[in-house]
Chains A and B, each alone.
Chain A
């Protein structure tokens, strides 16, 4: 099903991280800014977070998939343009329409923010435990898996009805990443589909809503 094996994917991340250095520092800083904007709620934070997410999805689509990963996988252009499309949707809903994203006490808030924090720190730690070490760590804004989970976590902070239109592609990528991690025997990515499923269930949950 996949045109490469786990050793090659790990090797790819090590080479990719080396090639884009020092983008990691900027990506980490911008992701921290996005988290900071959610607590406490601030006016216009949705637009600012949206702009950061748009940049992350554009980078993953254009730089990661179309630029670097395309030589490994004939599906890379499909994934790349899907990520660009998601960036377009995020720009439309978050930046143009200004959907607010802010932490509010409750299950959605806790799990949403928790998933985003895990994507920012936990996934790089786990993916950096493999044979190539921290050099192969996958980071929010630069790698699709952490970016998708980070996005899902922040979208869960939206008030009222979940923005399903924006959640479809991140959920799909987390599912695909889960299948791939199982097929390639890369357990570091197993939390992705599990957490994505939990976030989707929370999004479906019609419990107490914040007005």
Chain B
């Protein structure tokens, strides 16, 4: 098991509250959608155990992810409901009126009384759902609200919403090869005081598969990255506007590798440029 230098976990503040959260969280797309299979559920519970043991807090899910919410709930129950959990899910339905029922089903599946963060998934009926989320936040039924997209082609629409609405959190794709967010979304989030969750940090597994056959450069040690996942995650979280990255994995050993990015030094601007040049040369 390779882990970067230990030490205090790196955290960032959610601008709207000042609450600090670890810069590495966990996504659940595909990886936690294992249905009722007991063996697979237990394996995912071990992934969660590794996540919390290494300082993780933020777990992100969606009703779009099949049985993932129920499997997360199973794992949380098995681990005795870790108090450090920062629960994040989404509302994803065409009809505003269906949103509350869908969110209630998600809460039941997770086994939580309320979500810390609720986001409008992929901008679907965002105007209607944001109104619901504002009411829920005012009533204390959630702590933060946000909006997400995982489609690069919808950045303009997301930017317009970010510009216009009071959002605690925005979520979009950013990684060492997909850097379109640097031009507009990341600066806009910083300007508007919106926390940024980053999805698809590895383009699913594509970036790991693409780079793992190449050597990790010696100078990765300058920011305490000892494997490719940490290299890629530290690139993302070293952007000052990023609050938390949410890689997904179905394996406890990979979770341990990912969580190594929570510790040690981060690359500065010059090193970030060097990282991009290196991976683009491979």
- Chain A contact residues, CB within 8 Å of chain B: 2-5, 7-8, 11-12, 15, 71-74
Instruction: Assess the A3–B35 pair: CB atoms within 8 A.
Output: no
Fill in one digit per residue for B15-30: 1 if any A CB lies within 8 Å of its CB, else 0. Answer: 0000000000000011
Question: Which B-chain residue is minimally distant from A74 (CB atoms)?
Answer: B64
Interface centre among A8, A11, A71 (most CB of B within 10 A): A8
Q: Is the interface on chain B under 10, 10 to 19, 20 to 34, or 35 or more residues?
A: 10 to 19
Which B residues between 63 and 102 are near A, CB-CB below 8 angstroms?
Answer: 63-67, 70
Complex Cα distance A12/B33, Å?
Answer: 11
Is B37 interfacial (CB 8 A cutoff)? yes
- Nearest chain A residue, comparing its CB with the CB of B39: A11
Known A11-B34, A15-B35: A4·B66 in contact at CB below 8 Å: yes
Is B36 on the interface with A (CB-CB < 8 A)? yes
B34 & A8 in contact (Cβ 8 Å cutoff): yes
Given contacts A5-B30, A5-B250, A7-B40, contact A71 B64 (CB under 8 A): no
Is the CB–CB distance between B37 and A8 below 8 Å?
yes
| Secondary structure dominating the interface of B | loop
Apart from A4-B34, A7-B40: 7 A-B pairs, beta carbons within 8 A: A3-B29, A3-B33, A5-B30, A8-B35, A11-B34, A12-B35, A15-B35
Contact string against A for B residues 51-71, beta-carbon threshold 8 Å, 1 for contact and 0 otherwise: 000000000000111110010
Most buried by A among B33, B63, B66, B70: B66
Number of A-B contacts (CB under 8 A): 42
B36, B37, B66, B250: the one contacting A73 at CB < 8 Å is B66
4 closest A-B pairs by CB: A11-B37, A72-B66, A71-B67, A3-B66
Interchain residue pairs with CB less than 8 A apart (29) = A3-B33, A3-B64, A3-B65, A4-B30, A4-B33, A4-B34, A4-B66, A5-B30, A5-B31, A8-B33, A8-B34, A8-B35, A8-B37, A8-B40, A11-B34, A11-B37, A11-B40, A12-B37, A71-B35, A71-B36, A71-B66, A71-B67, A72-B33, A72-B35, A72-B66, A72-B67, A73-B66, A74-B63, A74-B64
Q: How far is the CA of A96 from the CA of B57 in the complex (A)?
A: 60
Q: How far is the CA of A7 from the CA of B37 in the complex (A)?
A: 11
* Chain A residue with Cβ nearest B29: A3
Q: Within 8 Å CB of B31, what residues of A?
A: 5
Docked pose: A74 CA to B65 CA in angstroms: 8
How far is B64's CA from A70's CA once the two chains are assembled, in angstroms? 11
Chain B residues near A12 (CB-CB < 8 A): 35, 37
A74: B residues at CB distance < 8 A: 63-64, 66
**Contact between A15 and B37, CB atoms less than 8 A apart:** yes
Instruction: Give every chain B residue within 8 A of A4 (Cβ-Cβ).
Output: 30, 33-34, 66
Interchain CA distance A101-B35 in the complex, whole Å: 40
Nearest A residue to B36, CB-CB: A15
